[in-house]
Structure 1
């Protein structure tokens, strides 16, 4: 199997997908203790439980067996922080990658320079590519150019924002993926394999529609863990959840929705009282949701960890360590494993010329038919009736109370 160096490994979502594609994690670096416990409980990969800045390239070479050869692939998803130091790096040489002030992206590039992998894969939030906020991309381009000049390599990369639902993941999750090779080969991202059913073209050659939540977790509705009393949604708003239809959120209870006018339009986070629909993919799994932030199960409860793993396309039997908050954080921060499998197969074919044994993906959910109808909603509990009335809508971007406070603080 082709060997991987994995940075910012987390619970191993990307690694598990690449494993399904024929790669093997030779060494991993992760500083979160619960994620490290998860990795060790499921796999025997060598794991450095430390900040990447404290792990030397020589440590990685030794632990991964790369003293005489280069890794096949370097992977990682540096934490999505603002890359505010790009100006500092824009005119320096690559020796600055060893500076302790380096951020997570430059730490990734330091390993790229020192281990010279044949290819690399980097995942991050979509905002990394937004105009005016693309410091990370510019930093990546600048330093890779300097690495090439210093080492004689020919690294290049391409990037694309991918929605996981377009590739069979039962979750709408947009992230940017960057893929590059040491010899300058240009990576061609695979075309989407699934389509939004509302935009689907009904012909013999159309793509299948998105895999939905029922496909992923429909067989778990009567699993013993789904009856755990700890899954009950508590707090101030938990009792309101049964009055919201599948696939809706608090906006149902505004003057523009079909429920009772309990809230102002767009005055809450999108995830507030957000409920899964059986016939649609899940919304993005959150790493640190509040007590009222979903997505919640269509049965008006919290998702079990097994259900969350399914929505992230982790292989069955993979166990997440820690309490509920630690498990939620690990899964919410993970890359859906199916995305790793799909990209890993393309990397093998395009960069290494490997012939794959089968076209069948190992981690893709299978369609479960028929999908039951949505349940009828319950009336709004009496305890919320005092909220019925007129509520002002959000005034618009940059005009809300939080934005006004920020402007006032800046002015003073």
Structure 2
């Protein structure tokens, strides 16, 4: 008999695919995004509730899953993370966090936890949920779980850890916080990291190395329909001049190119290009026209490539535009990491030691990647930017900070 999962904020199903690979069955999935719900329906037969979580009672969720309170083996979900995201700090110097109405999703997750009483739970979010000194989100969850225990006579625990997906075999540097608990008071022991940087002492001594973009893409067929993947906008013709694994910093006075930009004056992922021999950087859900990571062939990543970097199972279908695919994939949890954690939860909490088998969604390490291609010459239309900007003066001194101060004055 498969273990039973209730899935909230399901999106395209990144968490669910990992739990599925570990012997769990999604008995009900819930999401407000119609494109995500339609895509789930294309690929799985999970019962789906489409709409804001506030519109669905816990009874409706349980009835759709065919479960009674206490019968679910796990509640999983990643409440929308915008109030806690690092980009909020970059843009505003802070984030509204719990004062942001979107943070109500944390309360809704706790409401469903209280009413459905699963044997275990997993909540995923961005590291900003638990920033030191700004941990309102974690504190709210701890208080909410304590309230549930007092009200329902349970003994839910709560263990949290920030995890980089690449350290567990995902070919992508993607950091997320995972909060895991058990109804009967057992403490969750997070698994030790299994993969290490290629040039680390551990990898050189025979431990598993980080999986790379080449490991993820090596067996894929040539990409078709390149037109929808074409980079457009003001900086499109500059992308081919940047080497693999570099970003706009290549074209500063501290890089190896032409000094068109000031040092650290742009977002890190501005004109960021994948390197074959390293993990990808974090896939963005809604990238701007110059926001990477881009493929080393100077184009956007295809739907299949995006799915490979998130370690989704092969064969997923999409009936939406590329921007929607990027959003669905960029908002998801890497499935191989979810699989690793699901196997540990099954073994530690649910008396299913058979689950502790190697994860099946981690890509196979390939032989040495092909050599990088040569970059192109900078077009004349960009040369007026040479030495036109200075390096960033430091935290709190940039143009954005100065503008915010002037607005507040």
Q: Same fold (TM over 0.5)?
A: yes
Most deviating of 59-68 and 293-302: 59-68
Aligned counterpart for 1:239 among listed residues 216, 224, 237: 237
Cα deviations across residues 294-350 of structure 1 (Å, max 9, x unaligned)? 000011111101000000000000123421111111100000000111000000000
Per the TM alignment, residue 368 of structure 1 is displaced from its structure 2 partner at its CA by 1.7
Aligned counterpart for 2:305 among listed residues 304, 307, 329: 307
TM-score by length of 2: 0.93
Most deviating of 381-390 and 245-254: 381-390
Residue 222 of structure 2 corresponds to 223
Cα deviations across residues 243-302 of structure 1 (Å, max 9, x unaligned)? 100000000000000000111111111111000000000000000100010000011111
3-state DSSP of counterpart to 1:307: helix
3-state DSSP of counterpart to 1:219: coil
8 A Cα contact 1:31 1:52, kept in partner: yes
8 A Cα contact 2:231 2:298, kept in partner: yes
Residue 87 of structure 2 corresponds to none
The CA distance in 2 between the partners of 1:325 and 1:55, in whole Å, is 28
Residue 26 of structure 1 corresponds to 27
Aligned counterpart for 1:262 among listed residues 257, 260, 263: 260
8 A Cα contact 2:198 2:204, kept in partner: no
Aligned counterpart for 1:387 among listed residues 385, 388, 392: 385
TM-score by length of 1: 0.92
Residue 92 of structure 1 corresponds to none
1:360 correspondence with 2:345: no
Task: Decide whether aligned partners of structure 1 residues 178 and 63 sit closer, same or farther in structure 2, where only a CA change above 3 A counts.
Answer: same
Per the TM alignment, residue 359 of structure 1 is displaced from its structure 2 partner at its CA by 2.2
Residue 128 of structure 2 corresponds to 127
Residue 165 of structure 1 corresponds to 166
Question: Structure 1: where are the runs of 5+ without partners?
Answer: 88-99
Residue 207 of structure 1 corresponds to 207
3-state DSSP of counterpart to 2:208: coil
8 A Cα contact 2:347 2:355, kept in partner: no
Most deviating of 154-163 and 314-323: 314-323
The CA distance in 2 between the partners of 1:287 and 1:379, in whole Å, is 30
Residue 59 of structure 1 corresponds to 60
Cα deviations across residues 80-126 of structure 1 (Å, max 9, x unaligned)? 14376869xxxxxxxxxxxx998000100000000000000000001
8 A Cα contact 2:23 2:355, kept in partner: no
3-state DSSP of counterpart to 2:216: helix
Residue 333 of structure 1 corresponds to 331
Most deviating of 32-41 and 228-237: 228-237
Per the TM alignment, residue 399 of structure 1 is displaced from its structure 2 partner at its CA by 1.4
The CA distance in 2 between the partners of 1:102 and 1:237, in whole Å, is 35
3-state DSSP of counterpart to 1:35: helix
The CA distance in 1 between the partners of 2:391 and 2:135, in whole Å, is 32
Most deviating of 359-368 and 172-181: 359-368
8 A Cα contact 1:16 1:337, kept in partner: yes
Question: Structure 2: where are the runs of 5+ without partners?
Answer: 85-95
Cα deviations across residues 35-71 of structure 1 (Å, max 9, x unaligned)? 0111001011111111001110010111001136521
Per the TM alignment, residue 6 of structure 1 is displaced from its structure 2 partner at its CA by 0.4
Task: Decide whether aligned partners of structure 1 residues 299 and 65 sit closer, same or farther in structure 2, where only a CA change above 3 A counts.
Answer: same
Per the TM alignment, residue 358 of structure 1 is displaced from its structure 2 partner at its CA by 6.9
8 A Cα contact 1:18 1:24, kept in partner: yes
CA RMSD for the aligned pairs?
1.9
Equivalent runs, 1:154-193 vs 2, <5 Å = 154-193=155-194
3-state DSSP of counterpart to 1:315: coil
Task: Decide whether aligned partners of structure 1 residues 68 and 379 sit closer, same or farther in structure 2, where only a CA change above 3 A counts.
Answer: closer
8 A Cα contact 2:343 2:357, kept in partner: no
Residue 373 of structure 1 corresponds to 371
3-state DSSP of counterpart to 2:397: coil
Most deviating of 240-249 and 365-374: 365-374
Residue 119 of structure 2 corresponds to 118
3-state DSSP of counterpart to 1:346: helix
Most deviating of 63-72 and 392-401: 63-72
8 A Cα contact 1:11 1:320, kept in partner: no
1:39 correspondence with 2:40: yes
The CA distance in 2 between the partners of 1:358 and 1:345, in whole Å, is 6
Task: Decide whether aligned partners of structure 1 residues 102 and 335 sit closer, same or farther in structure 2, where only a CA change above 3 A counts.
Answer: closer
Task: Decide whether aligned partners of structure 1 residues 38 and 248 sit closer, same or farther in structure 2, where only a CA change above 3 A counts.
Answer: same
3-state DSSP of counterpart to 1:159: strand
Most deviating of 379-388 and 357-366: 357-366
1:70 correspondence with 2:71: yes
Instruction: State the 4+ residue runs in structure 1 displaced beyond 4 angstroms.
Output: 83-87
